Structure formats: structure tokens, C-alpha cells
Amino acid sequence: MKDVIVRAEKISKIYKLPGEQIAAVKDIDLDIYAGDFISIMGPSGSGKTTLLDLIGCLTSATGGRLTVMGRDVSGAGESCLVKVRRQFLGFVFQDFLLIPSLTVVENVLLSLYFSRQHQDKKRAINVLNLVGLGQRLNHLPAQLSGGEKQRVAIARAIITNPKLLLADEPTGNLDSRASQEVFDLFKQLNEKEGLAVVVVTHNPELGNQAGRVIKLKDGRLAA
């Protein structure tokens, strides 16, 4: 029986705006197990990113129940959510969002600093070698290609040994070759390192390479 990393029970996210309410995510049930490779797909506005934000504890659900590694984080405040993110989760974003003034290795060490782990430079170099960037340690992000930047972001996300890697449109700004390289890396991390990966994408060619595909429509799970 595989460990449950994230269990979402009828979680919802409703945004209250003047004069209206927008339900970005409605009553979604979802279990993510250790070793899963899941892609979340759907048209624009279907709630993919919001669902990822909820799973990733970047925001709180307005309805339902969410547990991460057995901890109930429903309605938790930011100070609680940040601890959960630190301990169990890693993030990769479409725009890479590396710190421009830090080198490749410094961007990776930053992750260790925030998660209160020892800033072991050798460990950072090993991870960068794993993602194929051992030759770029002292480069600044501006000196890297899009694909290379994304691999730094992945290294930054996995160096803290998270249980779950969450990637929001990680190939959105990459060409097809680089996109496939990134997906291959996800697969490698999933198969060889046992890391659970959840990827939001609207590219079916890539999304269908995942072990499980979840489709959303209008904030709900599609049939």
C-alpha cells in the first residue's frame, strides 16, 4: 500500500469579488500517492493552477478538507503552510523565477537556507549534476537558456528532498526539445528517485506521458 502524500476531499476555492463569487475549484476529491506521476490538464480557466496552488499549500481552500502527509491543513494560516511547504513540497514555475542576482549554485543553496537545512555546497553540486548543469555552477540566470533555467529551478525544488514536486506549466516558455528534456527529467526523478510529481500542462503530448492524467473542466474533475 503506497503512502498518501496529499488527500483532498471535496476541496473548493471560491473567490469573492464585489458583486459576485467565482468558484475556481469545486468539490474535488484527489489522492496523490508516493511515486505518482500525475498530469493535470484542461482548458484555460478550468482551475488547474488553482488546484495546484491548493495542493501546494500556497493558498488555503475555502471548502473541503486537505491533508498533507497526514497533517490537516484545511483553513491553516500562512505560518503553518510555510512549514508544510518547507518540509514536504517542491515547486517549479512556468517563468522559472530564479533570483537573477544569485548564481546557479546560489539559487539552489537558497532553497536549503529557507528550509533550515545545512547549506552543503557538495550536495547542491550533486543535484545540479543530476539535472545536467554541473558545468554552469557559477553562471547567472541571464547567461542560461530557458531549458537550463528550468533545470536549475528543478534542482532548487528537489534539493530539500521533498515528497512531492509540483510543476505549473513548466514547459510553457520552452521549445519542444527543451520541453521534452524537462519532462524526461521529471520521469527520471519519478522512476529512479521515487519522487512524486504533479505537473499542470495544456500540452497533451507531454501530459499523456504521465502515469495518471487528471482532466478539469470548469473547476471540477472532468469525466
Quick check: 82 binds another protein (CB under 8 A)? yes
The least CB distance from residue 112 to another protein, in Å, is: 8
Could you give the CA distance from residue 157 to residue 80 in angstroms, rounded to a whole number?
19
The only residue of 106, 196, 201, 214 in contact with another protein, by rule CB under 8 A: 106
Quick check: 109 binds another protein (CB under 8 A)? yes
Name the residue nearer to another protein (CB basis): 72 or 95: 95
- Segment interacting with another protein (CB under 8 A) among 27-35, 39-47, 81-89, 184-192: 81-89
- Segment interacting with another protein (CB under 8 A) among 16-24, 80-88, 127-135, 186-194: 80-88
The only residue of 12, 160, 171, 190 in contact with another protein, by rule CB under 8 A: 160
Quick check: 156 binds another protein (CB under 8 A)? yes
How many residues of this chain interact with another protein, rule: CB under 8 A? 30
Quick check: 44 binds another protein (CB under 8 A)? no
The only residue of 22, 101, 188, 217 in contact with another protein, by rule CB under 8 A: 101
DSSP lists the bridge partners of residue 21 as 16
Q: Which residues of 148-170 are buried (b: 16+ CB within 10 A; e: fewer)?
A: bbbbbbbbbbbbbebbbbbbbbb
The least CB distance from residue 175 to another protein, in Å, is: 20
- Segment interacting with another protein (CB under 8 A) among 61-69, 79-87, 185-193, 214-222: 79-87
Q: Interface residues with another protein (CB under 8 A)? A: 49, 53, 56, 58-59, 78-79, 82, 85-86, 91, 93, 95, 97, 99-102, 106, 109-116, 119, 156, 160
